[in-house]
Amino acid sequence: MTYEAVIGLEVHVQLKTRSKMFTRAQAGYGFPENTLTDPVVLALPGTLPVMNKEALDKIIRAGLLLGCDIAPVCKWDRKNYFYPDSPKNYQISQYDQPICRGGEVEIELPGSARNIMGEHRRIALTRIHLEEDVGKLNHGEGESLIDFNRAGTPLMEIVSEPVMHGADEAFAYLTALKAVMIYGAISDCDMEKGQLRCDANISIRPAGAAALGTKVELKNLNSFSFVRDGIAHEIARQTAVVSAGGKVVQETRDYDGQTGESKSLRSKEMAHDYRYFPDPDLMPVEVGAEWKAAVRATCPELPFDRQRRLIEQYGVPYTITSVLVPDRELGDFFEEAARLSGKPQAAANWIANDLLRELGAAKLALAQSKVRPQHVAGLVKLVEDGVILSNAAKEVFVDMFQTGETPESVVARKGLKAETNLDELERWCAESIAANPRSVADYKGGKESALNAFKGPVMRAAKGKADPRRVDEMLRRLLAG
């Protein structure tokens, strides 16, 4: 029998806000332990939470971008459980009235080849709610220390419907979700910094069956690849269990991306009773039409919409758009360079190839790049106008990347201007033809490729500054004459 996997993802995304969810303490990553705290974060006696409006704005923006219904009232509940990383021993969360319901994430499955767009699908969402993050336990020899820097950071939980069927689909979902979060300036979604965390609910059922099988929750999926590998592993594990006549047990499993193995964390019987109840310290907040409209005005174009537009409007190939689009700033960079140069395809090539290569080699972010859109546009124009040749242009780009100088000044400094003295070019071509009578005979005998034999000496004489197109034309003219 063949089996079909059913997958739902619960993704936690930290919101990029200046302060924490319920206090003015700074939110951030990479600070010395327990420096991003205050009496509220540490749950000192008598402290009270106060809602961060920026966080609510951001989750509403996320909801609007994903087409969710935004609740008219933002209500808070307490989720009660004891754990040392949770300072109050309850988490302020949203239980029965999440701020966002429904919505969907447009995803792209892998295409048949790298340069072919894959199938697009829409993955339905159940809900998105807002809560606060917990601190971090650092386990040492015989002791565990707690760092509360992360505690209280605004955290969004995005729950998908169980509508995905493969590890690749889950991977595509995360990729698309991350792009939307980055576009909305909602989160940077850096998994290494814990800004995005993913749990997967996985079950299998006989292919074609309607009822869902027993689900297993997979936790600690620390990277997009681990999510893909962990899901693939779990589908295989469940299939093996069922094929051998066994039954899948409802449980939570821990996936170790390093070893590729999973182990049971807890069974259904040990599930918590969180004793949810409305948080009496926080008044429900009304989210009126005006508020929603104000947030809607800040919503950017969605990544896939932009990709379709770049292909249509600029004629940029799919492969290059799939490089330019996921990073919103890179897309903006491209559109600016395209506008300034009037040659979008050339600009796209410079950015997708040369700029990204140099940034990667120098380990720099786009914001740190000395090459700006006007540099790219200037370079495109120089090549287009035949002022420099493409070989020289490559050299100019690397130089600009190092120095930040304009392409014009690099060309002038390095003397890279293309040779445009036609008399000189004609003389070099004539010399080259005269020096190689055998190839002349071949060419005249109809062997087109014989023409190449004349080009080397011309280029050498021109020290690389000759335009190959002109050389080609000149040689043909002289040979025909």
Which residues contact other proteins (rule: CB under 8 A)? 39, 42-51, 78, 80, 82, 84, 87-90, 144, 146, 273, 275-277, 280-283
Return phi, psi of residue 329, to 5°: -65, -35
Closest separation between CB of residue 252 and other proteins, Å?
18
Amino acid in the structure at residue 254: D
Retrieve residue 64's tokens: 């609007």
How far apart CA 8 and CA 124 sit, in angstroms, is 10
Minimum CB distance to other proteins, residue 39 (Å):
5
Nearer to other proteins, 48 or 422 (CB): 48
Contact between 425 and 462 (Cβ < 8 Å): yes
Least Cβ distance, residue 245 to other proteins (angstroms): 34
Scanning 161-247, the segments in alpha helix (DSSP H) are 167-183, 224-243
- Which phi and psi (to 5°) does residue 451 adopt? -60, -35
- Min separation Cβ 89 and other proteins, Å: 4
Distance of closest approach, residue 51 Cβ to other proteins, in angstroms: 7
Q: How far apart are CA 418 and CA 412, in angstroms?
A: 11
Element containing residue 194 per DSSP (H, E) = none
Of 50 and 441, CB closest to other proteins = 50
Q: Which is nearer to other proteins, 128 or 282 (CB)?
A: 282
Q: Whose Cβ is closer to other proteins: residue 29's or residue 276's?
A: 276
Nearer Cβ to other proteins (49/63) = 49
Please identify, using beta-carbon distances, which residue of 192 and 273 lies nearer to other proteins. Answer: 273
What is the distance between the alpha carbons of residues 103 and 68, in angstroms, rounded to a whole number? 4
Cβ-based nearer residue to other proteins, 261 or 281: 281
Cα dihedral 138, 228, 353, 183 sign: negative
Backbone angles phi, psi at 440, to 5 degrees: -60, -45
**Closest distance of CB 281 from other proteins, Å:** 5
Which residue's CB is nearer to other proteins, number 142 or number 360? 142
Report in angstroms how near the CB of residue 140 gets to other proteins at its nearest. 14
Nearest distance, CB of residue 321 and other proteins, angstroms: 46
The length of the chain, given as a count of residues: 481
Distance between CA 5 and CA 167 in Å, rounded?
9
Ranges of H-type helices in 13-113? 53-65
Find the shortest distance in angstroms from Cβ 60 to other proteins. Answer: 19
> CA–CA separation, 159 vs 332, rounded Å?
30
Tell me the closest approach of the beta carbon of residue 273 to other proteins, in angstroms: 5
- Of 154 and 303, which CB lies nearer to other proteins in the complex structure? 154
**Residue partners of 205: CB distance under 8 A and separation at least 6:** 3, 4, 6, 211, 212, 213
Could you tell me which residues come within 8 angstroms of residue 252 by beta carbon, excluding any fewer than 6 positions away?
216, 217, 218, 219, 264, 265, 266, 267
For the record, the structure tokens of 134 come out as 């917990």
Q: Which is nearer to other proteins, 30 or 82 (CB)?
A: 82
Which amino acid belongs to residue 389? L
- The residues with which 101 forms a beta bridge, in sequence order, are 69, 127
Of 45 and 245, which CB lies nearer to other proteins in the complex structure?
A: 45
Closest by CA position to 241, among listed 252, 229, 250? 250
Q: Which residues pair with 139 in a beta bridge?
A: 144
Query: What's the min distance (Å) between Cβ of 129 and other proteins?
Result: 19
Which helix (H) or strand (E) is 122 found in, with range?
strand 120-132
Cα-only R_g, the chain: 30
